[in-house]
A = this chain, B = another copy of it.
Amino acid sequence: MFEDRIHKILWAVVESYITSPDPVGSRFVTKKYEFNLSAATIRNTMADLEELGFLQQPHTSAGRIPTDKGYRFYVDYLSQRESAADDHLTNEIIGRLRVISNDINGLLEEASKMLSTFSHYLGVALSPRPEKTTFRGINLFAYREGSIMAVFLTDEGIVKNKVIRLDSGLTQRDLNRISDYLNSEFSGQTFDDIKARIVREMYREKILCDTLIAKAIRICEEAFSFDYGNVFISGLSEVLGLPDFSDLQRIKEISRAIEDKHLIVKLLDALSHSEGVQVVIGSENPAAEMKKFSLVLSSYKEGARPIGTIGIIGPTRMDYLRAITIVDATARFITRVLSER
């Protein structure tokens, strides 16, 4: 498995600690893993590992626990060997998700619940990043005096609505004409593309000064500027059962993270660019509030384009193998559902 003894032992310590939250001592290692070495030798090696920054002691004369660097070693090794596909687990997840999969937000909400029930950590699912989705249709309604309600539909099956303030006496007929125009013109393009085009068009129309079209474009300008999408976070009660969250301080930290959805969105958006499942361990985390938690993330795609992110948030002492399997299976499944039409 490993060549160096030092790696074997580090691996053993991490694995053991992940399995049960007791600091692991030298004697324990000799018993559970058969290295044919005495406790004293293990002790020396573990002292080395501590000096190298892979392990630490909660206090003198307790066993050792991994540092973030230690977990990193463990996870990197996990990733190296071909992903140990736990087919049983994968199938179970897919089986449960298959039941619903009607509209995408429902699917994502269910996915976040699934992620949490299977992992016993927090499950997170971000709806597709608005600017990456493909425009399908728009409807405009005269909503109140001076306000228009715009309702979008995207290819991904997302419905978004937005109130636009506009001081103009547009009738419902005008609005219908505008929306017909927009639908024929922009349907099938991503919002990113559309925005770029609008900027060009605006310039042209300013010169032509066609009032209706000009107004239409003004509406677009507002309508197509999006805030973040939905975030689905589940599993708080799941997490509270964990030994890692037995003290109030940590509970407060995690619950603050849950309430501050904006932070989560930014974090996940920032991190999820690379291919496949990504693991962020404790202090590797860019956000200060998250430096005590680990993230396991993956993007789901439409075709080849990654459009959104799902993942798991848990303590650094996480069952990474299981978490990676779960996240991977879920992301793949969502990707498949999105391609199936």
Q: Using a CB–CB distance below 8 Å, which chain A residues touch chain B?
A: 102-103, 136-137, 139, 141, 143-145, 149, 151, 153, 157, 159, 161-163, 234, 236-237, 240-241, 246, 248, 251-252, 255-256, 258-259, 341
Report 18 cross-chain contacts, Cβ distance below 8 Å, ordered by A residue: A137-B141, A139-B151, A143-B157, A145-B341, A149-B153, A149-B159, A151-B159, A153-B161, A157-B163, A159-B159, A236-B259, A237-B252, A237-B255, A240-B248, A240-B252, A240-B255, A248-B251, A251-B251
Residues of B within 8 A of A157 (CB): 143, 149, 163
Bound Cα distance from A302 to B255, whole angstroms: 35
- Once A151-B139, A259-B237 are accepted as A-B contacts, the answer to whether A144 and B341 lie under 8 Å apart by CB is yes
Which residue on chain B has the smallest CB distance to residue A256? B237
Residues of B within 8 A of A102 (CB): 163
- Once A255-B236, A255-B240 are accepted as A-B contacts, the answer to whether A141 and B153 lie under 8 Å apart by CB is yes
The distance from the CB of A142 to the nearest CB of chain B, in whole angstroms, is: 10
Bound Cα distance from A251 to B237, whole angstroms: 9
Which residue on chain B has the smallest CB distance to residue A143? B157
The distance from the CB of A158 to the nearest CB of chain B, in whole angstroms, is: 9
The distance from the CB of A138 to the nearest CB of chain B, in whole angstroms, is: 10
Bound Cα distance from A248 to B153, whole angstroms: 44
The distance from the CB of A212 to the nearest CB of chain B, in whole angstroms, is: 21
The distance from the CB of A14 to the nearest CB of chain B, in whole angstroms, is: 28
Residues of B within 8 A of A139 (CB): 139, 151
Bound Cα distance from A259 to B246, whole angstroms: 19
Residues of B within 8 A of A252 (CB): 237, 240-241
Bound Cα distance from A136 to B248, whole angstroms: 48
Bound Cα distance from A125 to B240, whole angstroms: 25
The distance from the CB of A240 to the nearest CB of chain B, in whole angstroms, is: 5
The distance from the CB of A165 to the nearest CB of chain B, in whole angstroms, is: 8
Residues of B within 8 A of A137 (CB): 141
Residues of B within 8 A of A234 (CB): 259
Bound Cα distance from A43 to B237, whole angstroms: 43
7 tightest Cβ-Cβ pairs between the two chains A and B: A159-B161, A144-B341, A236-B255, A237-B256, A102-B163, A103-B163, A237-B255
Residues of B within 8 A of A258 (CB): 236
Bound Cα distance from A259 to B256, whole angstroms: 15
Which one, B141, B163, B256, contacts A136 given CB within 8 A? B141
Residues of B within 8 A of A241 (CB): 252
Residues of B within 8 A of A149 (CB): 103, 153, 157, 159
